[in-house]
Structure 1
């Protein structure tokens, strides 16, 4: 199984003020390192594309995407796909990356969107996938505007009554610190839910399969102390097996 994992990276620019004087510093971080290591250890062939590389290195044709069994979009907003450097700075016409992902799924590819501040609609609605062609593909109806549910006290999802190989060995889920809120489409399958919202939703779009996981795959909504959860690796590999139709 070969997977293209996109996003879950960021740059932090800080101003340090000490009395009269101040200085600036910048650091770069990648949030999905633990997950990527688990996938590779589990035999998944992963190509990682950090968020800032999308603007200059995203494939220019559907055929380039079709070498992958599945694509994962994690904590990266729609603007990064739609406003690539050639268009934003040089006013050039380039292929619509999200339209290519849609066509990739139509042709039988798998797509997983993982939650985060810039997933689904995201913080202040800035992820904005609800207003793109990806809204047609995903098995959920996204909220307009800010879709976060912050739970500093922790919220523990639970399996629904639907039996599936993804959740068959999971008796108890970790307590998450937040997630993105959405509704399942009528023809979708909700495997996991909180008291108020769907949490893990599966679907199909034309020739391909799709999945939505409402919370992070890594900190911050996924608590650091739960990254050693016994089902962590199997959960993500099994979700990818579903969307890639590789079981």
Structure 2
């Protein structure tokens, strides 16, 4: 199997030294891949992963259904909508945007591909709405709707627990969810009619969907409302069942389960 994974990365500049009013130096520049544990977990299961940072994705993310069809599953996580909607027109030689990548993702899924969106500050609606996937073709393919231009984050520094609704589902089975570590936040998402909520997060009136799936045309799509990396998944990421869970997710999305 082959997975395309966009997002969950940043560029780090510094440290910055200010030695005097006339002497300022930047001593470092590097990339940090927050999603590296997820990449490693999938590769341990024999799954090929092509990862793109956001600055790579804006140029290199496939522009057509045909290009996306080289992959069994597409993962989007902390990769805001504008990264995929726009092209780096400011870079000389960039081909004109003759295609719509958001529509290509929708049709790729409808035609049999697997689509996964993982939560974070720039997923779904995201921080101050900057994730921006509301009212888009990608939202059409997902089993949930997003808040319309609003900040959808629920920060829970005290930790919130997972409540599994269908432990026998191929995505969830074989994992002791009663031992799952807490998450420290999630995006508020809304299941569509016909979608299945496999798990929720939180307690009482604050209980909200965590894992939502559905069939979209010939393909499958899933929304995971929390994160695969810190800070929301600070405790989940090192859990011994973390890798098993994500491998089962990818197998199901690819139609192997």
Q: Give 5+ residue unaligned stretches, structure 2.
A: none
Asked if the contact 1:76–1:118 (Cα under 8 Å) also holds between the matched residues in 2, the reply is yes
In the alignment, is the contact (CA less than 8 A) between 2:64 and 2:99 conserved in 1? yes
Residues 76, 118 of structure 2: 8 Å contact kept: yes
Pairwise CA distance, 1:16: 4.6
- Kindly indicate whether residue 208 of structure 2 is the aligned counterpart of residue 201 of structure 1: no
In 2, the alpha carbon distance for the partners of 1:147 and 1:184 equals 14
Could you tell me which runs of 5 or more consecutive residues in structure 1 were left unpaired when the two chains were aligned: none
Kept after mapping to 1: 8 A contact 2:13/2:29: yes
Show the 5 A alignment for 1:229-240: 229-240=239-250
Q: Which runs of 4+ in 1 moved over 4 A?
A: 13-26, 87-91
Q: Which of 187, 192, 195 is 2:199 aligned to?
A: 192
Give the Cα separation in 1 of the matches to 2:141 and 2:248: 20
CA gap 1:88/1:152 in 2 versus in 1, 3 angstroms: farther
Alignment of 1:1-247 (within 5 A): 1-13=1-13, 16=16, 23-24=25-26, 26-86=29-89, 92-144=96-148, 145-161=150-166, 163-170=168-175, 171-172=177-178, 173-194=180-201, 195=203, 196-223=207-234, 225-247=235-257
Give the secondary-structure state (helix, strand or coil) at the position aligned to 2:186: strand
TM norm structure 1: 0.91
Task: Give the 3 Å change call, closer, same or farther, for CA 14–152 of structure 1 in structure 2.
Answer: farther
Provide, for residues 103-142 of structure 1, a one-character-per-residue CA deviation record: whole Å limited to 9, x for no partner: 1011111100011111000000001001311111100111
Alignment RMSD (CA, Å):
2.2
The Cα of 1:60 is off from its aligned counterpart by 2.9
Give the Å deviation of 1:26.
Answer: 4.3
> Aligned equivalents of 2:14 and 2:128: distance in 1?
22
Tell me if structure 2 keeps the 8 A contact 1:86–1:94.
Answer: no
The answer to whether the Cα contact below 8 Å between 1:87 and 1:93 also exists between their aligned partners in 2 is no
Q: How many angstroms does 1:57 deviate by?
A: 1.2
| Paired residues of 2:167 and 2:173 also in contact (CA < 8 A) | no
Question: In 1, are the aligned partners of 2:166 and 2:172 still within 8 Å (CA)?
Answer: no
